Amino acid sequence: MREAVPTLSRLVRDRGFLDSHILPLLQETEGAGEWYVAYRHGDRSHTLQVFAWLPGSATRIHDHTSWGAFCGVVGAVLEERYERLDDGSLPDHARLRKLWQREWRRGDGISTVLPYEDGIHRMSNPTGELAISVHLYGPRFGEIDGRDYDPSRDYVCDRLED
Ligand SMILES: [Fe+2]
């Protein structure tokens, strides 16, 4: 995790990386409301992913079973961060409280999440322009990819695939 931040900082300044993995995405104009993984590379120890966020797209509120670090490279992605208020003892039940939100643009630094409850967040692109972010994830600490939350009904469930 300590190495992730400088590694990611270096990578998103690398001309070759930007030319091969970011520039082609700037042609994307279709599919408003969707986000997708445009590039993925990794092994057991880490995974690098480039996310493209079309205008209006958003993830569910979720966590990961690994640490993660990400930064904005094109446009702005909004991150909303939550904390869990219950003790996790009831199945499928989770009570959340929003902690903060902020936009991440190129040069804003790097956001980091820790596994499970220490990195509950939602990512979105509330702007009218394409946004692109680059993410580095560590090894999974569990079988699942993470969990998805629905605070409108205090619900949580496992997420098998990323
Ligand atoms: Fe995430």
- Cα 27 to ligand 1 centre (Å): 25
Instruction: Give me the pLDDT at residue 13, please.
Output: 95
How far is the centre of ligand 1, averaged over its atoms, from the C-alpha of 123 (Å)? 7
Question: Domain holding 47: CATH number?
Answer: 2.60.120.10
Instruction: Report pLDDT for 44.
Output: 85
The pLDDT assigned to 27 comes to 83
Q: Which of 2, 156, 161, 158 is nearest to 82 (CA)?
A: 156
How many A from CA of 67 to the centre of ligand 1?
10
Residue 14 has what pLDDT? 96
Tens of pLDDT along 55-104? Answer: 999 999 999 999 999 999 999 999 999 999 999 999 999 999 999 999 99
Q: Mind listing the pLDDT tens digit for each residue in 121-159?
A: 999 999 999 999 999 999 988 889 999 999 999 999 999
CA of 47 to the centre of ligand 1 (A): 13
CA of 120 to the centre of ligand 1 (A): 8
pLDDT tens-digit series, residues 25-44: 888 766 678 999 999 999 98
As for how many domains the chain has, the answer is 1
User: What is the token pair recorded at 145?
Assistant: 């990819």
The answer to whether 159 touches 148, Cβ cutoff 8 Å, is: yes
Give the number of other Cβ atoms within 10 Å of residue 141's Cβ.
Answer: 12
Strand-pair category, 47-53 with 131-137: antiparallel
111 alpha carbon to ligand 1 midpoint, in Å? 10
Q: What is the pLDDT of residue 162?
A: 66
- The pLDDT value given to residue 87: 96
Q: What is the pLDDT of residue 31?
A: 67
Backbone φ and ψ for 150, nearest 5 degrees, come out as: -130, 95
Q: Report the pLDDT value the prediction gives residue 33, as an integer from 0 to 100.
A: 83
- Mean pLDDT computed over 2-11: 94
Ligand 1 centroid from CA 146, angstroms: 9
CB-based burial, 24-63: b 16+ in 10 Å, e otherwise: ebeeeeeeeeebeeebeeeeeebbbbbbbbbbebbeebbb
The position carrying tokens 């509330």 is 126
59 is written with which tokens? 């993830």
CB 59 within 8 A of CB 34: no
Please check the confidence at residue 19 and state whether its pLDDT lies above 80. yes
Report the separation in Å between the CA atom of 161 and the middle of ligand 1, taken as the mean of its atom positions.
12
User: Chain-wide mean pLDDT for the chain?
Assistant: 94
pLDDT for residue 17 is more than 70: yes
Domain that holds residue 58: 4-159
